[in-house]
Structure 1
Amino acid sequence: MVTVLLRRFGGLVLTLVISSFVIFAGMYAAPGDPVTFLIGNPENLTPDRIAAVRAEYHLDQPFLAQYALWATGVLRGDLGTSMFYQQPVSDLLSSRLPMTLTLVAMASVLFILIGVGLGVLSALRRGTVVDSAVTGFTTFINSVPNFVIGLVLVAIFAVQLRWFPVAGDGEGFADRLYHLTLPAISLALGSIALISRVTRQTMVEQQSLDHVEAARSYGLSTRQIVLRHVLRNSLGPVVTMCGLVVAGMLAGTVVIESVFGLNGLGGLLVEAINTHDFPVVQAILLYMVIGYMVVTILVDLAYPLLDPRSLARSDRS
């Protein structure tokens, strides 16, 4: 077990190093000279001013030296200074991160509860009208982009019915949840289809196994069979897929936050790209990579609790 954990930890560290290098290199190779955006007024583009700005932001040093300075600062918690806002990037992220995490948390609760519920219902009613209706519904919502769903929800529930606000973050915890209802639904709908299908497929496979047939022969009720044998043994793949979806949502908030005018990391990323604010773009992309890694680690730790057989297989390997 210890060997497995060390191997996974080493792989995660290597992944983080490679990802950080790719992120920095991508910004380094981006078109346009950041000096022109830092100085702003073309009249101030004098040789002395350009040289001073390059020295201040270490742009006069070789690429590897710039990367080493940036990576060292990241390890110390220093993500640099925003070129556009002229304030520490860590302060910008800390002010926007709660909004994004709240949105992802709400969307995660929705797609897990509804997706697993629909998957269980579809598996138990396999081959019936209910199964066809669930499959048709999930296929339809999975084929529609989430930003289109967001615009439709705004047009119906915000503009026409006026049940929810069109945009904004809200003030206070309860008001924020109210403002994030439509964005969370928009973000979750596509994932509901995926989780529903995975749940249905794994439950159908479990229902055909020998131990389930034996449980039926002993006279156990359908409810007992589903809860003790079918659903419990299906949780491993379902939890793994839920974790991957949640990790993907950390990057998928960009479009939804733009549609609903939310001041989260997604909206900040769009602003940073438009203003060529490279330190902010680098920090947000690195956050997305780290967030994905953290979620996958939590899934890896939770999987043996759901399926102890996987832990035994890891020990043997």
Structure 2
Amino acid sequence: MASVARAVLGKLAGLALTLFLASLLVFFSRFLVPGDPLAFLLRGRKPSPEAVALVTEQYGLNLPPWQQYLHWMGGMLTGDFGRSMQYRQDVSEVLLDRLPVTLGLVIMAGLLITVFGLAAGILAALKRGTWVDRTVVVTLTAFGAIPSFVAAIAFIALFAVQLGWFPSFGSGEGFADTLRHLVLPSAALALVYVVLIGKVTRSSMVEQLDREHVEVATSRGLKRASVVRRHVFRNALGPILTVSGMLVAGLLVSSSIVESAFGLSGVGSLLVQSVDRLDFPVVQALVLLVVTVFVVLNAIVDLIQPLIDPRLAAGAGAR
């Protein structure tokens, strides 16, 4: 029990340190970006010195960088992400308006990745060496070479323009209409990651199928489905979970391309617009959000892996 507590505390300490270093990098990197946020705020106007001083003070641009960082971090910890320069409202309000679309997109894409990625990997592993295995591997390899924006264009041309099955633009209104609008974007977003999960699943399961304990379980007369479920798939989950933890952050970043292609008002398209317009408060909040999601999910994966594979917990205890 003590070893488990030490492991959890170690993970939490590493998590806190990683987020602190990431916050430093995210905040101070804006001083390396060409362009003056004050010039964007004034939009080419020639205001009075008093107006310039007022805007500078309102956004904290008159403070030294280290004071700006402390003020920014204090706000982050209390849910105050600053004020958007392009929307003239709190960043938290801007994010909350856009977040539901991106969450729906990521969740639907995650479901597609889980279902089709795992199914393809499991099928290929159980049929390894056959034409089924070769077909799955070749298909995954071919799909893996298709970028998200190319998949988006192809899906729009085929399923929206030619067949008319799904809409190609906008987020829709109401739950059912929103789901219908998210089908093509989520499929385009999930395609590359289905390939990754499928290949990792196949590789991990093939490795487990060659283990001695699987042969012993099979020789004892256990049903193949039971052997696969209890001795193969469960032990193969470690690498799959590790990759899955990294995929969520990748989905958040890749969503910007898909949202722009399908005209979705989500967080991804907001990030692109904010970078283009030098809206530093929004960019900093979004980048730190993605980093936080990535680090937290990977910490959770590291903590639950010993629950899935007791051998990892035993190894940690032995040390």
Q: How far does residue 13 in structure 1 lie from its aligned partner after superposition?
A: 0.7
Alignment of 1:186-197 (within 5 A): 186-197=188-199
Q: How far does residue 101 in structure 1 lie from its aligned partner after superposition?
A: 1.2
TM-score (ref. length: structure 1): 0.96
Letter in 1 for 2:316: S
Match among 71, 76, 79 for residue 78 of structure 2: 76
Structure 2: how far apart are the matches of 1:246 and 1:279? 23
Aligned to 1:14: 17
Structure 2: how far apart are the matches of 1:26 and 1:95? 26
Structure 1: how far apart are the matches of 2:264 and 2:237? 34
Aligned to 1:283: 285
Structure 2: how far apart are the matches of 1:252 and 1:294? 19
Match among 38, 42, 65 for residue 39 of structure 1: 42
The reply to whether residue 179 of structure 1 matches residue 181 of structure 2 is yes
Alignment of 1:116-265 (within 5 A): 116-265=118-267
Aligned to 1:107: 109
Q: How far does residue 50 in structure 1 lie from its aligned partner after superposition?
A: 2.7
Q: How far does residue 191 in structure 1 lie from its aligned partner after superposition?
A: 0.8
SS of structure 2 residue aligned to 1:78: coil
Deviation per residue, 1:199-238 (Å, 9 max, x gap): 1111111111111111222233322321221112112221
Is the 2:167–2:181 Cα contact (8 Å) retained in structure 1? Answer: yes
Show structure 1 runs of 4+ deviating over 6 A. Answer: none
Aligned to 2:27: 24
Structure 2: how far apart are the matches of 1:104 and 1:163? 21
Aligned to 2:296: 294
Is the 2:8–2:303 Cα contact (8 Å) retained in structure 1? Answer: no
Q: How far does residue 314 in structure 1 lie from its aligned partner after superposition?
A: 2.3
Structure 2: how far apart are the matches of 1:262 and 1:196? 28
Is the 2:82–2:281 Cα contact (8 Å) retained in structure 1? Answer: yes
Structure 2: how far apart are the matches of 1:115 and 1:274? 35
Structure 2: how far apart are the matches of 1:4 and 1:223? 35
Is the 1:250–1:291 Cα contact (8 Å) retained in structure 2? Answer: no
Q: How far does residue 62 in structure 1 lie from its aligned partner after superposition?
A: 1.4
Q: How far does residue 240 in structure 1 lie from its aligned partner after superposition?
A: 2.0
Q: How far does residue 166 in structure 1 lie from its aligned partner after superposition?
A: 1.0
Deviation per residue, 1:153-205 (Å, 9 max, x gap): 00110111111111111112221111100111111111111111111111111
Where does structure 1 lack aligned partners over 5 or more consecutive residues?
none
Is the 1:141–1:189 Cα contact (8 Å) retained in structure 2? Answer: yes
Structure 1: how far apart are the matches of 2:11 and 2:300? 12
Q: How far does residue 281 in structure 1 lie from its aligned partner after superposition?
A: 0.7
Is the 2:59–2:83 Cα contact (8 Å) retained in structure 1? Answer: no
Match among 3, 7, 12 for residue 6 of structure 2: 3
Structure 2: how far apart are the matches of 1:239 and 1:29? 36
Q: How far does residue 280 in structure 1 lie from its aligned partner after superposition?
A: 0.7
Is the 1:112–1:242 Cα contact (8 Å) retained in structure 2? Answer: no
TM-score (ref. length: structure 2): 0.95
Letter in 1 for 2:150: V
Q: Percent identity?
A: 46
Structure 2: how far apart are the matches of 1:214 and 1:315? 27
Q: How far does residue 40 in structure 1 lie from its aligned partner after superposition?
A: 1.4
Letter in 1 for 2:215: E
Structure 2: how far apart are the matches of 1:316 and 1:220? 32
Q: How far does residue 39 in structure 1 lie from its aligned partner after superposition?
A: 1.2
Q: How far does residue 111 in structure 1 lie from its aligned partner after superposition?
A: 0.8
Letter in 2 for 1:178: R
Structure 1: how far apart are the matches of 2:56 and 2:90? 18
Query: What RMSD over aligned residues (CA atoms) do the two structures have, in Å?
Result: 1.4
SS of structure 1 residue aligned to 2:46: helix
Match among 66, 69, 72 for residue 67 of structure 1: 69
Q: How far does residue 145 in structure 1 lie from its aligned partner after superposition?
A: 0.5
SS of structure 1 residue aligned to 2:124: helix
The reply to whether residue 91 of structure 1 matches residue 93 of structure 2 is yes
Is the 2:15–2:296 Cα contact (8 Å) retained in structure 1? Answer: no
Is the 2:124–2:132 Cα contact (8 Å) retained in structure 1? Answer: yes
